C-alpha cells in the first residue's frame, strides 16, 4: 500500500472533520432547503452530541441504533458516536428503528436507540424511555467536550464504526460490520481518481443506511467540501437543488439518472455546474451511460462495490468515454481481485468466474455470525462476492451475473427468497419462485411464478393484493405467472434462467 495513503487511512471520519473545521471553520459543511452549517458549527454540534451521549452512559463498543434519515443530523450523530467509539447501527427510515431491527432477524440487540420518531425536530435517545438528546443545531449546549477528546484517543482505525444491514444469498439479512478504516479507505482511493476536492459540492439523494449513500458524506468530509440535503428527492426536486446550489458532484443509481432525463425535464434547469457523476448499484448498458453523460453534460463514471467491500472498482475521471462505458472500471489501487473458477483456480482475462476481493474497504465481518463470516472468505482472505464477472484484456472488470439470489431494482437489493416466502404464506400457493427480469428503467424488476394448490382459484391481482401487507411496494413482483409446473434443471431444481425468459 502507498505509504501516504496508509497514513491517511489511520485517521477517522471525525479526525477529518476536526482537521477541516480547524483550517476553515466558516466554510459550509451541510446545507438543507432551510439552513446551513459551517464546518466549525458542525464540529461543535458533533462534539456536543458526543458529550451528551456519553453523559447518558453510552460508551465505546456500545451498539446504538440510529434511524438514518437523509439529513445532516444523521451524519452528525454517526460522527459523534465514532468520536468516542460508539457503533452506529443504521436503520431504514421506512420503519420504526426497533421494528426494523426486529424484522431483520439478525438477533442484534442495540444498547440504545437514537431516533426522531414522534419527537418533531428533536432527536432522542431511547433506553426503555425517551430522554432528550439535543437539537443537533449550531451553538453551545454547555457540555464539557474534553471527555470526548480523551475518549477519542482510545479509538483505533480498526474499531467498528457502523453496522449496515444487507440481504445475503439465502435471502436472510446480515449485519455487516464496517470499521473506521473501511469508511476512510474508500475516499482515500477514490478521490484522486474522481478529482473530487474541497471546491466541490455534492447532493445527498441516497439512503444513509446504505454504504453508497453514506459514501457521499464520508467523501465530502474527507475532502472538506459541502453536502446539500434536499428535502425531496424526486427528479425535479433534485434538478432544482443542482441549479439552486451549484452542485458539482452526484452519486446515484442508473434508474435515477434516467429519471432525470425522462420527458426532457432536465432541460428546464440550469445544471451546468455538474461535472461528475458516479453511477453504481445496478446494471446499465454502455449506450445508456453515453446517453446520460451526453444529456447531463457531466463526466459519468461507473462503479462497483457492496456493503461487505465498500469500493472494488471504478474508472478515472480522465479516462475516455469508451473506457468508462466498457464495464465497471479498473480496480481501486488498494484493492486486490481475482476471478476464480469452479474448481478454485485463478482464471485468465476473458474467462468468467466468481469475483473475489480483498483490501482496506473489506468488512470486519457479520455481526454475531461467525459461521457466515467464515463462509464469506476463502483461504486467501478474499471475500466471496457471489458475483460472476471477468477482466478484459485492458484490465477492466465486467459483471455478467450473480451467484446470489438477489434482485437489484433501481439500486435496491431485493431478496428473491423473501418474495418466495411471502407468496408461499398465501393460502392456495403450492410452490413459488421469484427472479429478476431485465428492465430498461430499473435495471431489473422482480417477477414470479407460482403453482397453485389443487382446487385453488388464484389470480395475479389477488396475489398482489395479498402481498401488499407482506412486502414493501418495490418488492412486489411486477408480474406473477400462474403455471402448472416450473421449468427444471437436470438436478430437479427450478430453472430460473428459463423462468426469466418466460416472464
Instruction: Of 80-94, 133-147, 307-321, give the lowest mean pLDDT range.
Output: 133-147
The beta-carbon contacts of 219-222 under 8 Å, at least 24 apart in sequence, are 219/186, 219/187, 219/190, 219/191, 220/29, 221/13, 221/16, 221/17, 221/20, 221/29, 221/79, 222/13, 222/16, 222/184, 222/187, 222/188, 222/191
Q: What are phi and psi of 263, to 5 degrees?
A: 70, 15
Looking at the predicted structure, is the pLDDT value of residue 148 above 60? yes
Statement to judge: residues 7 and 94 lie in one domain: yes
In three-state form (DSSP H/G/I as H, E/B as E, the rest C), the secondary structure along 178-209 is: EEHHHHHHHHHHHHHHHCCCCCCEEECCCCCC
What pLDDT was estimated at residue 122?
62
What pLDDT was estimated at residue 169?
35
Terminal alpha carbon distance of the chain: 47
Statement to judge: residues 275 and 198 lie in one domain: yes
Domain, as residue range, for 373: 3-388
Q: Which residues of 109-159 form beta strands (DSSP E)?
A: 112-115, 123-127, 129-134
Mean pLDDT of 270-282: 93
How far is it, in rounded angstroms, from Cα 285 to Cα 384? 25
The reply to whether 83 falls in a domain is yes
Where residue 21 sits, what CATH number does that domain have?
3.40.50.12780
Statement to judge: residues 381 and 457 lie in one domain: no
The reply to whether 335 falls in a domain is yes
What pLDDT was estimated at residue 490?
43
What are 40-66's pLDDT values in tens digits? 999 999 998 999 889 888 999 999 999
Instruction: Of 258-262, 315-319, 338-342, 447-451, give the lowest mean pLDDT range.
Output: 258-262
Q: How far is CA 447 from the centre of its chain?
A: 23
Question: Which of residues 388, 417, 435 is at a domain's end?
Answer: 388
The reply to whether 396 falls in a domain is no
pTM assigned to the model: 0.83
Statement to judge: residues 124 and 177 lie in one domain: yes
The reply to whether 397 falls in a domain is no
What pLDDT was estimated at residue 133?
56
Looking at the predicted structure, is the pLDDT value of residue 299 above 70? yes
The reply to whether 327 falls in a domain is yes
What are 370-389's pLDDT values in tens digits? 999 999 999 999 999 998 89
Statement to judge: residues 306 and 255 lie in one domain: yes
The reply to whether 459 falls in a domain is yes
Statement to judge: residues 106 and 163 lie in one domain: yes
Statement to judge: residues 15 and 65 lie in one domain: yes
> Which helix (H) or strand (E) covers residue 72, if one does?
helix 72-84
- Residue appearing with cell numbers 446470489: 404
Statement to judge: residues 307 and 442 lie in one domain: no
What are 327-347's pLDDT values in tens digits? 999 999 999 999 999 899 999
How far is it, in rounded angstroms, from Cα 239 to Cα 207? 18
Looking at the predicted structure, is the pLDDT value of residue 493 above 60? yes
Statement to judge: residues 451 and 324 lie in one domain: no
The beta-carbon contacts of 404-408 under 8 Å, at least 24 apart in sequence, are 404/168, 404/169, 405/169, 405/170, 405/171, 405/496, 406/167, 406/169, 406/436, 407/434, 407/435, 407/436, 407/444, 407/445, 407/446, 408/281, 408/282, 408/283, 408/436, 408/443, 408/444
The reply to whether 440 falls in a domain is yes
**Residue % of the chain over a pLDDT of 90:** 66
**Residue % of the chain over a pLDDT of 70:** 92
Mean pLDDT of 483-497: 74
Counting the structural domains of the chain, the total is 2
The reply to whether 54 falls in a domain is yes
Question: Which of residues 356, 388, 420 is at a domain's end?
Answer: 388
Separation in Å, CA 451 to CA 193, 358, 403: 50, 42, 25
Statement to judge: residues 377 and 263 lie in one domain: yes
Statement to judge: residues 127 and 45 lie in one domain: yes
With bands split at pLDDT 50, 70 and 90, how would you rate the model's confidence at 168?
Answer: very low
C-alpha cell at 377: 472468505
What pLDDT was estimated at residue 129?
45
Statement to judge: residues 150 and 34 lie in one domain: yes
Amino acid at each position: 500500500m502507498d505509504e501516504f495513503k496508509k497514513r491517511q487511512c489511520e485517521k477517522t471520519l471525525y479526525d477529518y472533520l476536526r482537521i477541516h473545521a480547524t483550517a476553515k471553520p466558516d466554510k459550509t459543511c451541510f446545507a438543507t432547503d432551510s439552513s446551513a452549517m459551517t464546518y466549525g458549527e458542525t464540529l461543535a454540534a458533533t462534539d456536543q452530541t458526543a458529550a451528551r451521549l456519553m453523559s447518558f452512559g453510552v460508551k465505546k463498543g456500545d451498539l446504538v441504533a440510529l434511524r438514518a434519515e437523509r439529513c445532516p443530523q444523521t451524519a452528525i450523530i454517526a460522527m459523534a458516536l465514532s468520536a468516542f467509539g460508539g457503533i452506529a447501527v443504521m436503520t431504514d427510515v421506512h420503519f420504526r428503528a426497533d421494528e426494523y431491527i426486529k424484522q431483520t432477524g439478525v438477533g442484534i440487540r442495540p444498547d440504545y436507540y437514537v431516533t426522531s420518531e414522534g419527537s418533531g425536530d428533536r432527536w432522542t435517545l431511547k433506553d426503555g424511555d425517551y430522554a432528550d438528546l439535543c437539537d443537533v443545531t449550531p451553538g453551545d449546549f454547555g457540555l464539557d467536550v474534553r471527555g470526548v477528546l480523551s475518549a477519542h484517543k482510545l479509538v483505533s482505525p480498526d474499531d467498528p464504526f457502523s453496522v449496515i444491514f444487507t440481504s445475503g444469498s439465502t435471502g436472510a439479512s446480515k449485519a455487516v460490520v464496517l470499521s473506521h478504516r473501511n469508511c476512510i479507505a474508500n475516499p482515500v482511493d477514490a478521490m484522486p481518481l474522481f478529482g473530487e476536492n474541497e471546491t466541490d459540492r455534492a447532493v445527498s439523494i441516497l439512503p444513509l443506511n446504505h454504504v453508497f449513500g453514506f459514501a457521499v458524506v464520508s467523501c465530502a468530509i474527507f475532502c472538506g467540501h459541502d453536502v446539500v440535503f434536499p428535502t425531496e428527492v424526486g427528479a425535479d426536486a433534485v434538478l432544482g437543488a443542482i441549479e439552486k446550489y451549484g452542485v458539482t458532484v452526484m452519486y446515484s443509481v442508473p434508474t435515477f439518472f434516467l429519471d432525470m432525463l425522462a420527458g426532457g425535464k432536465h432541460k428546464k434547469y440550469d445544471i451546468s455546474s455538474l461535472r461528475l457523476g458516479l453511477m453504481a448499484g445496478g446494471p446499465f448498458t454502455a449506450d445508456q451511460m453515453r446517453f446520460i453523460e451526453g444529456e447531463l453534460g457531466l463526466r459519468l463514471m461507473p462503479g462497483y462495490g457492496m456493503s461487505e467491500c465498500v469500493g472494488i472498482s471504478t474508472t478515472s475521471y480522465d479516462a475516455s468515454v469508451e473506457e468508462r462505458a466498457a464495464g465497471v472500471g479498473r480496480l481501486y489501487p488498494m484493492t486486490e481481485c481475482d476471478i476464480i473458477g469452479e474448481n478454485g483456480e485463478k482464471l485468465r482475462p476473458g474467462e468468467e468466474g466468481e469475483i473475489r476481493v480483498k483490501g482496506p474497504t473489506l468488512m470486519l465481518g457479520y455481526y454475531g455470525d461467525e459461521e457466515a463470516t467464515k463462509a464469506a472468505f476463502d483461504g486467501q482472505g478474499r471475500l466471496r462476492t457471489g458475483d460472476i464477472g471477468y477482466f478484459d484484456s485492458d484490465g477492466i472488470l465486467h459483471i455478467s451475473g450473480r451467484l446470489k439470489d438477489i434482485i437489484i431494482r433501481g439500486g435496491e437489493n431485493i431478496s428473491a427468497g423473501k418474495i418466495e416466502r411471502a407468496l408461499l404464506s398465501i393460502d392456495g400457493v403450492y410452490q413459488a419462485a421469484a427472479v429478476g427480469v431485465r428492465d430498461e428503467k430499473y435495471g431489473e424488476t422482480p417477477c414470479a411464478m407460482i403453482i397453485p394448490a389443487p382446487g385453488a382459484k388464484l389470480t395475479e391481482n389477488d396475489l398482489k393484493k395479498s402481498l401488499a401487507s407482506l412486502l414493501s411496494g418495490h418488492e412486489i413482483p411486477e408480474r406473477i405467472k400462474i403455471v402448472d409446473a416450473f421449468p427444471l434443471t437436470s438436478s430437479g431444481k427450478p430453472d430460473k434462467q428459463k423462468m426469466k425468459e418466460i416472464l
